[in-house]
Amino acid sequence: MDIQLEKKKGLKPKHYGYIALGLLVLFTGYKLIFASSVSTYRTEKERLSIAQVTEGKFDDYITINGNVAPIATIYMDAYEGGRVSEKLIEEGTMVKKGDIILKLENMGLYEQILASESNLALKQNDLRSTKLTFDSRQVEGRRSLATAEYDLQRLKRNYEQNDALYKDELISKEEYLLSKENYELSKKQYEIVKLQTEQDDQLRKTSLTGLDTDLQRMQKTLSMVYERLDHLNVRAPADGQLGFLDAEIGQSISQGERIGQINVLTDFKIEAEIDEHYIDRVKRDLSATLERNEKEYGLRLRKVYPEVRNGRFKVDLVFTDEKPETIRAGQSYNIRLQLGASSDAMLLPKGGFFQSTGGQWVFVVGTDGNEALKRNIRIGKQNSRYYEVLEGLQPGESVITSNYDSFGTAERIVLK
């Protein structure tokens, strides 16, 4: 009797083919399902800018554009108003401090000077008259004092003689008493004249001091008026170049009106504007460099203006050593402003994507180069060439760096 052998259970080689086929179908279906659930944008690869993330030194600087300006600008305002009678210097001319640029005329100021001179003359006459009066009284008072002193000495001597004679009973008592009374009266009169003379001297001193003070005050006032008259000659406040002059012959200029400026050309500065993104990092005394004819020139950030306009703020830079020989006011230069020291970092080339995403996410190209997926990242500092990548990317990965505005809300980019 034949024994029937039981067939062994298990996978046969042909089964592996079936399994592989099934897995392929499942994977393809999964991709189709996943792709259909993700917003996709299709575009040609050649129309995009794609850059690779690298490791290297990150130079913490920014490139800014600045214009050369005079180291200082001094404005000319009219100290006194008046009509322009003469224009001696034209715009663009080099001037020295004190040079007369304009001459003005002011009839009201001339009349004021004449009135001040007249008042001063009257005050001087009053002072002279008062001095003469006090001098006369002083002479008269001293004459009266001398007479009173003489009478006192004479009557005192007569009294002392009569006193001795009366004691010897050589004269009558009436004659003695009369000499005594005359002496005492003369003594009182002398004291009165002396007191009056002292008071007159004190009054003279006080009055003349007050009059002298008033006279000095009027002389000072007249001197100030003369200075105002000299201010009708508009002078250069410093050595330099007359930048602009807003005045013509016959034109009326108001007091305090700005009529021109002097550009001080002993040195130059560079005025630049910087994006407000860097306002917390830009400080005084930062270093910068300017390249001209393959030579670098050192700069120092001298001033940061606090006001922000249209998303930008203004700074002034000055040369730390030599400057270009051909430098002129109005020239434009590209300047490299150093914000910090260099450091090792992951670097992503700059591109238009930053304006679309703010640097919060990017599209990372897959290894096959056929698609790119949205990925969140974190960017640190930036310079004119690179962004510093802090999180979200690895060296060697490729990123679409061109503008993302056309992608809409897509989270996946198919590259043809």
Is there a single domain that holds both residue 406 and residue 357?
A: yes
Distance between CA 289 and CA 300 in Å, rounded? 9
What letter does residue 405 receive in the DSSP assignment?
G
Q: Coil, strand, or helix at residue 140?
A: helix
State the total domains in the chain.
3
pLDDT of residue 34: 46
CATH code: domain of residue 384 = 2.40.420.20
What letter does residue 293 receive in the DSSP assignment?
T
pLDDT-based confidence at 292, cuts 50/70/90?
confident
H-type alpha helices, 103-250: 107-167, 173-230
- Is residue 397 one of the residues assigned to a domain? yes
Is there a single domain that holds both residue 141 and residue 56?
A: no
DSSP labels, 356-374: HHTTSEEEEEPTTSSEEEE
- Is residue 131 one of the residues assigned to a domain? yes
**Does the global pTM surpass 0.85?**
no
- Is residue 141 one of the residues assigned to a domain? yes
Write down which residue in 169, 192, 222 finishes a domain.
222
pLDDT of residue 329: 83
The torsion defined by the Cα of 305, 309, 311 and 315, in degrees rounded to 10, comes to -20
Give the pairing of strands 412-415 and 40-43. Answer: parallel
Distance between CA 387 and CA 58 in Å, rounded? 8
pLDDT of residue 286: 93
- Is residue 208 one of the residues assigned to a domain? yes
Residue 16 C-beta-side C-alpha neighbours within 13 Å:
2
pLDDT of residue 18: 62
Give the tens place of pLDDT for each residue, 210-252: 777 877 877 787 787 788 888 888 999 888 889 888 888 999 9
Write down which residue in 294, 314, 338 finishes a domain.
338
Distance between CA 332 and CA 355 in Å, rounded? 27
- Is residue 363 one of the residues assigned to a domain? yes
Residues 6+ apart with CB under 8 A from 116: 218, 221, 222, 225
Is there a single domain that holds both residue 365 and residue 332?
A: no
Give the tens place of pLDDT for each residue, 263-286: 888 888 999 999 988 888 899 999
Distance between CA 207 and CA 211 in Å, rounded? 6
116 or 66, which is more confident: 66
Is there a single domain that holds both residue 215 and residue 123?
A: yes
- Is residue 200 one of the residues assigned to a domain? yes
H-type alpha helices, 299-403: 353-357
Angstrom CA distances, 357 to 49, 123, 382, 399, 404, stand at 16, 83, 15, 13, 8
pLDDT of residue 14: 55
Q: Are 105 and 85 in contact (CB under 8 A)?
A: yes
pLDDT of residue 28: 59
pLDDT of residue 71: 86
Is there a single domain that holds both residue 392 and residue 405?
A: yes
Is there a single domain that holds both residue 193 and residue 272?
A: no
Is there a single domain that holds both residue 183 and residue 211?
A: yes
> Among 4-13, 170-179, 355-364, whose mean pLDDT is lowest?
4-13
Distance between CA 211 and CA 205 in Å, rounded? 10
pLDDT of residue 10: 52
Which sign, positive or negative, has the C-alpha torsion 159, 160, 163, 169? negative
pLDDT of residue 200: 83
Mean pLDDT of the chain: 85
Q: Is the pLDDT of residue 198 over 90?
A: no
Is there a single domain that holds both residue 329 and residue 354?
A: no
CATH code: domain of residue 320 = 2.40.30.170
Is there a single domain that holds both residue 118 and residue 218?
A: yes
pLDDT of residue 240: 87
Give the tens place of pLDDT for each residue, 87-143: 999 888 899 999 999 999 988 888 887 887 788 788 778 777 877 887 888 888 888
Distance between CA 136 and CA 190 in Å, rounded? 20
Q: Which of 338, 403, 79 is nearest to 227 (CA)?
A: 79
What letter does residue 366 receive in the DSSP assignment?
P
Distance between CA 146 and CA 105 in Å, rounded? 62
Is there a single domain that holds both residue 358 and residue 374?
A: yes
Burial 243-270, CB ≥16 within 10 A → b, else e = bebebeeeeebeeeeebbbbbbeeebbb
Is there a single domain that holds both residue 117 and residue 217?
A: yes
Give the tens place of pLDDT for each residue, 131-189: 788 788 888 888 888 998 898 999 999 989 988 888 888 889 999 899 899 999 999 99
Q: What is the mean pLDDT of residues 181-200?
A: 90
- Is residue 300 one of the residues assigned to a domain? yes
Q: What is the mean pLDDT of residues 357-368?
A: 92
Rounded (to 5) percent helix, strand, coil in the chain: 40, 35, 25
Distance between CA 218 and CA 124 in Å, rounded? 10
Write down which residue in 338, 368, 401 finishes a domain.
338
Q: Is the pLDDT of residue 390 over 90?
A: yes
- Is residue 15 one of the residues assigned to a domain? no
First to last CA, the chain: 71
Is there a single domain that holds both residue 357 and residue 330?
A: no
Q: Supply the range of the domain harboring residue 192.
A: 108-222
